[in-house]
Amino acid sequence: MFTKRLILALVISIILIVFTACSFENSFKDEPNLTSITGILKEQKSTDNHKGTHVLIDSQNKETLIRSVSLNLSADGNLNNKVQLTGFLNTKDNVFEVTGISILEKLDNTPTPQISDLEEPKENLPGDTELSDMQLPLVDIEFVTFESLPYHFSSKYPKSWYYAGVSGKGNGILHHYGFSKDPLTDDNELISMDVTSSPIQKTGEALKIGNNKIYKTIDGDNINLQLVVNNQNFKIQGNKEFEQTMLIMASEIIPIPFN
């Protein structure tokens, strides 16, 4: 009897160990592998019965159904143009989930708004920091609009760059957007834009560009910009060689009305 109980206990222990190991392995599965696809971006019609929200048509006229939960694929400059999308295929419904987008060739004749000089009358903020007028020099870069669906704001970024968004990265970051001249990896991000839950630090140089009040600090070769737009806190960081690009991106953050 004792031997049977011992054998039963050993069998149960082995089953528990195998089950626990499988559960542990499953809990640490890698995130979906990101891939890139290229083609002409089209918006689906309300009468379409396809899954997703948009369609990407490649050079062979093959259609890929796509959608994004963090990016507005219909934002200015995206539709009817040749784009490169970064993301992964959702195997549940065969829809490509987009996490990043870059415009490769502008085919739509609709003109893209150009960045112009921005200047506002000088005023002072309460406290020790003096608010300075800031007039941005014209830069030889074309900018396009991107929109954040989760946080209802839009901004601009260089047309030839890539960007991608991801939710929650810790340290009070609610949503993180990365920008680069090449498809985004963990190592090539040039400018970051974070929506944060932490209050901004009103230190350093205070600038007024358009309707936005921006606080600029320098940390070695890096520029840090902080601002509040429509009660949302933003932090933008990057190397000082991209300072003008970052200032334009900060000045162009505007809220998007939502129902």
Describe the chain by its helix, strand, coil percentages, rounded to 5.
Answer: 15, 40, 45
Query: Token pair for residue 234?
Result: 């933003």
How much is the pLDDT for 54?
A: 92
Strand 131-133 with 205-209, pairing:
parallel
How is residue 118 annotated by DSSP? Answer: -
**Alpha-helical runs (H) found in 30-144:** none
pLDDT digits (tens, 9 = 90+) for 170-191: 789 999 999 999 988 888 999 9
Query: 193 phi and psi, to 5 degrees?
Result: -130, 120
Three-state DSSP at 116 gives coil
**Alpha-helical runs (H) found in the chain:** 2-27, 243-251
Domains observed in the chain = 35-105 (2.40.50.430), 131-255 (3.40.1000)
| Average pLDDT of span 36-60 | 86
Tell me whether residue 179 is exposed, middle or buried, using C-beta atoms within 10 angstroms of its C-beta: 0 to 12, 13 to 18, 19 or more. Answer: buried
How is residue 9 annotated by DSSP? Answer: H
Cut 0.95: pTM above it: no
Residues 6 or more apart whose Cβ sits within 8 Å of residue 32:
88, 89, 97
Does the pLDDT value for residue 252 go beyond 70?
Answer: yes
Does the pLDDT value for residue 45 go beyond 90?
Answer: no
pLDDT digits (tens, 9 = 90+) for 143-152: 999 888 889 9
Query: Token pair for residue 7?
Result: 């054998």
| Average pLDDT of span 97-106 | 84
